[in-house]
Structure 1
Amino acid sequence: MTAKTPPPDTWLQAARDQWVWRGQARPHFAEAPKAGQLSVWDFPRPPRLAPEPREVRIVWDGLLVACSTRSVRVLETAHPPTYYIPWDDVARELLRPAPGASFCEWKGPARYWDLVHGPKRLPSHAWSYPQPMAGAQALADGVAFYAHGLSCSVGGLPARAQPGGFYGGWVTPDLAGPFKGEPGSEAW
């Protein structure tokens, strides 16, 4: 007898069902937000896509990579926001297609981009969802960047990379964590 491959909706639902924290209640270990802060534990799962009117700015080695007041931010439980910047607001000449791909159970198939300037290269440092799943269509015309190795800001607030090497959220001072990617956060 051979094993049958489950229908796509079955494995997709199984991937979505694995998440315990969905933004309805903060876990006991969540930091209490200070005045002017948002708790990433109040963000929903599935994630919410929201317009970001504040200026999102990325500079690499003195080069302006992107600057926009029309970004879309993804708000997902336990994660600092990820910012998708419209391609029209990105210096596309600095991006080259990169090998590899991934799949998000909420957003769909992602493709990756290298940042390149002369001999300098930051491999697979940006990603996009050219054909996002239902509910994530607002990401189709944007690209997101890992913050490590870049000078990033949101509304003038400095942003640093989300902990760990996989996730692409930006940690700004107006957020309370802890954040997915820190040691011990695998099950979040």
Structure 2
Amino acid sequence: MFKRPLRVVPGPGQESVWDYPRPPRIEKVTDRLIVTFAGQTVAETTEGYRVLETSHPPVYYFPPDNVREDFLVPEAGRSFCEFKGPANYWSLEVGEARSQQAAWNYPETTQPFRKIQGFYAFYASRVEACWVGDEQVQSQEGDFYGGWITGNIVGPFKGAPGTRGW
């Protein structure tokens, strides 16, 4: 039988992913967001957004103008988010280095998520490093959700084996 995990009580200045809404909420981010791969900055912005959904660490989205699209290679296959719509996947190629399906975007979103239409998100586990402000993020466990974990976010987090039914 399914048993929902116990929510970690957030400390001062922290957020619990169990307080995030469903359907998700989108928020403007003014912190500098950075993604590096193979020694190159592939995305950097202070104009990003984060999407917050119950049990998930935030997913950060970069405007296309702040992404090195010359490093992106389109991949076959798509997925579908019941809230945002169909997603496309992108691999990163920097010199001889390649990371398969390291990024995704929504070329056509549903109305509530128009602000991130065409924006890119990156799996922290498939790049060299991701940063929110001065903090290097930890990747969300698993290979489906792509959330970024910082010190001000507490779980438990969906994504690890056995958590998809939460």
Counterpart-to-counterpart distance in 2, 1:97 and 1:61: 18
Choose which of 157, 164, 179 in structure 1 pairs with 2:157.
179
In structure 2, the gaps of 5 or more residues are none
Aligned residue pairs total 162
Determine which structure has more spread, i.e. the larger CA radius of gyration: 1
**TM-score normalised over the length of structure 2:** 0.93
Which amino acid is 1:43 matched to? Y
Cα root mean square deviation, aligned = 1.2
1:168 corresponds to 2:116: no
1:112 corresponds to 2:89: yes
Counterpart-to-counterpart distance in 2, 1:36 and 1:64: 29
Contact 1:130-1:139 within 8 A present in 2 as well: no
Give 1:23's aligned residue: none
Give CA deviations for 1:13-39 in whole Å, capped at 9, x if unaligned. xxxxxxxxxxxxxx6601111121110
Counterpart-to-counterpart distance in 2, 1:184 and 1:101: 23
Give 2:61's aligned residue: 84
**TM-score normalised over the length of structure 1:** 0.83
In structure 1, the gaps of 5 or more residues are 1-26
**Structure 2 counterpart SS, 1:136:** helix
Of structures 1 and 2, the one with the larger relative CO (CA 8 A, separation 6+) is 2
Choose which of 30, 38, 58 in structure 2 pairs with 1:61.
38
User: Taking every aligned residue pair, what percent have the same amino acid on both sides?
Assistant: 44
Give 1:43's aligned residue: 20
Give CA deviations for 1:33-88 in whole Å, capped at 9, x if unaligned. 11211101111000001101111111112100111010010000000000110011
Counterpart-to-counterpart distance in 2, 1:93 and 1:28: 42
